[in-house]
Amino acid sequence: DDDDNRIKRRNGKRKEEKDVERTTVSINFVLLLKLIELSTMATIPSHNLLLPNPINQSAHSLSLKSHFPRSSLITFPARSSPARAISRTDEASISSRLEPESYGMTTAEDIRRRDREAKESKSLKDRWRKIQGEDDWAGLMDPMDPVLRSELIRYGDLAQACYDAFDFDPFSRYCGSCRFTRHKLFDSLGIFDSGYEVARYLYATSNINLPNFFSKSRWSKVWSKNANWMGYVAVSDDDEATRRRLGRRDIAIAWRGTVTQLEWIADLKDFLKPVSANGFRCPDPAVKAESGFLDLYTDKDTSCNFSKFSAREQVLTEVKRLVERHGDEEEDLSITVTGHSLGGALAVLTAYDVAEMGLNRTRRGKVVPVTAFTYGGPRVGNIRFKERMEELGVKVLRVVNEHDVVAKSPGLFLNESAPHALKKLAGGLPWCYCHVGEKLPLDHQNSPFLKPSVDLSTAHNLEALLHLLDGYHGKGQRFVLSSGRDPALVNKASDFLKDHFMVPPNWRQDANKGMVRNTEGRWIQPDRIRAEDHHAPDIHHLLTQLHHPS
């Protein structure tokens, strides 16, 4: 009996040891899985960390209950949601900055809540003059004012519309034109609540020496051999919701630039000349701008229906018409010019020209504020050009990626950053440039969505700039998407998103590249509504008034 009892006790002890061993293995395995999960989260930034509406991962988590007895499972504390956002892309920084909410750190949702409360308490309609640069955006960029951010993204979208609507395809008969009529521009692009109506399209002659900027068709019969669509003039509509939101009526001018190709920079003559030489009403011959920009803005081709009036004449006459129509209404009026890349240079020239011509004054003498929001724009003129814009009260805010070469051109060596003595000595040289207005510097390496490498074309991408704007909260602040702008837009015409987000590069294109089947079953390019060359019947009268004001 004693021997039997000893054997039973020994077997029971061995069974307990095995149970403990199995439980230990189970616990270690569960811990290992948890560590792998946390390591993966730390290495690959999750949408949950940065987007307004975190993705529910519970449906995708691995269930361990079927593999281990209930006694061997460990109950882990619920993970705080959302986790702390991150501002750098290197793995060490990501893993070190993933802090749970219980540590008292400010979370991404806290930042978004703060932005929402600020926008609700400080609406655009009450602050639009400050947002338009009345005080040169003092105190609005660091920390980033949420209303200013929202407006910068909105005007950036107006500039992006020029790219999305432009026909770049050299195999298209309509290459170089807009793919949509002006009355359906925004609706065709899916912008159903823009609050603006397009008043006219803008064209420029392609006969100037910027071959890498203009797009031309390979067809022999085309919509125009000597013109390219360059943008549009729009005005905010009479909808009550639009008027309440904006707090005034707004004339918006958007110029097209370049999507990825940067060869046009090499085409620049990099030579400053007096703006008065191109017809500007400027009393000071020392006010100079880059000659290629001036030619693009002022040249015309009288044999072409679309560019028989220069881009300058087209935009000034339309601004004059709209200011005369709306300038003396009870509600306030503003003029806002926007553009990306070379379009940013045209935006600066237009803003200056409108003020120099006095088109921002109503019949009753009221001064209409003129503002230019540019994205990745180059330098345009010399230091005297900058000073003259300040004298006229024109406000310019430049949004740039710090790694973008276009924003550093032209005047790579002689510019506003040169020592004062050197600038004074070289001020009269025809290649000493100076940026205008205020600068909002962004860095794509702060976004965990974007590849950290510096590629010249992707660093210049407009959609990437708008993505960076959405996540920017001030110097040293971590990157958190404020409005939830879809990061996939970055890859619309680039390969800039990190590969693990699984968004294909250059994904935006027309179905079948615009080809359709005709009644005979053949694939053809369909005819479009004739491109609009709608120069107003009274444009000659308006031009006479511009050249010979009463």
Catalytic residue annotation: 341, 404, 460
How far CA 423 is from CA of 155, 272, 285, 289, 431, in Å, comes to 34, 15, 18, 16, 11
Strand partners, 158: none
Contact 374/115 with Cβ under 8 angstroms? no
Q: How far is CA 432 from CA 102, 377, 411, 436, in A?
A: 55, 17, 6, 13
Handedness of CA 428, 429, 435, 441 (dihedral sign): negative
Nearby residues of 14 by Cβ (< 8 Å), 6 or more positions away: none
Question: Cα Rg for the chain, rounded, in angstroms?
Answer: 29
**Strand 370-375 vs strand 196-205: parallel, antiparallel, or unpaired?**
unpaired
Write down the residue that tokens 């400010």 correspond to. Answer: 106
Dist. CA 231–CA 159, nearest whole Å: 8
Q: Are strands 438-442 and 395-401 parallel, antiparallel or unpaired?
A: parallel
**Are the beta carbons of 510 and 157 closer than 8 angstroms?**
no
C-alpha 93/C-alpha 43 separation (Å) is: 9
Closest CA to 489 of 459, 456, 467: 467
Cis peptide preceding 487, ω within 30 of 0: no
Compute CA distances 128 → 159, 181, 352, whole Å: 20, 30, 20
Place of tokens 């003029």: 335
- C-alpha 58/C-alpha 299 separation (Å) is 62
DSSP labels for 178-205?
Answer: BSS-GGGHHHHTT-TT--EEEEEEEEEE
Q: Under 8 Å CB-to-CB from 479, ≥6 apart: which residues?
A: 50, 85, 86, 87, 446, 447, 448, 471, 472, 473
Instruction: Classify strands 288-290 and 272-274 as parallel, antiparallel or unpaired.
Output: antiparallel
**CA 252 – CA 496 distance, rounded (Å):** 29
Query: One-letter amino acid identity for 358?
Result: G
Would you say 402 and 393 are in contact if contact means Cβ atoms under 8 Å apart? no
Beta strand extents in 353-443 (DSSP E only): 370-375, 395-401, 438-442
Q: Report which of 127, 155, 157, 123 is spatially closest to residue 139, judged by C-alpha positions.
A: 127
